[in-house]
Amino acid sequence: MCGDGFKGDYEECDDGNLVDGDGCDSTCKVEDDYICFGGSFGGPDTCRPLCNDKIVETIECDDSNDIDLDGCDGLCRIETGWTCTGNPSACEEICGDGIRVGSEVCDDGNTDNGDGCNNDCT
């Protein structure tokens, strides 16, 4: 039965609902640009946008690679200390957040000059 959270023989996915647009549609078919996994006897499927396909879906980032520590990790999640925009995604360090990442030489949690770390994290 589609929508019950258990993938049957004739279902591509079953995420436990009949909602379209979340990766598994109301007829238990995997939607375009999504991948679903789990299901069967283990409970409902989990669906997420395809990663590294150069198409940004929902809240993912997609920088067209599976390299971690560049702002967008290998599972297309925005990494802590970064902001990512665009399609494909371009990621930049967030200077002043107190987290030193990427090319930041320092990040003291503010963007004040004259305190040892400048407003551009140098």
Instruction: List the domain boundaries for the chain.
Output: 1-49, 51-122
Query: Which two three-digit tokens encode residue 22?
Result: 């979340």
Encode pLDDT of 61-102 as tens digits: 888 888 899 999 888 889 999 999 988 889 999 999 999 999
AA letter at 94: I
Q: How confident is the model at residue 109 (pLDDT cuts 50, 70, 90)?
A: very high
Partners of residue 90 on adjacent β-strands: 85
Q: What percent of the chain has pLDDT over 70?
A: 94
What phi and psi values does residue 4 have, to the nearest 5 degrees? Answer: -90, -5
3-state secondary structure (DSSP) of residue 68:
coil
Say if residues 88 and 63 touch (Cβ distance below 8 Å). yes
Relative to beta strand 82-85, strand 34-38 is unpaired
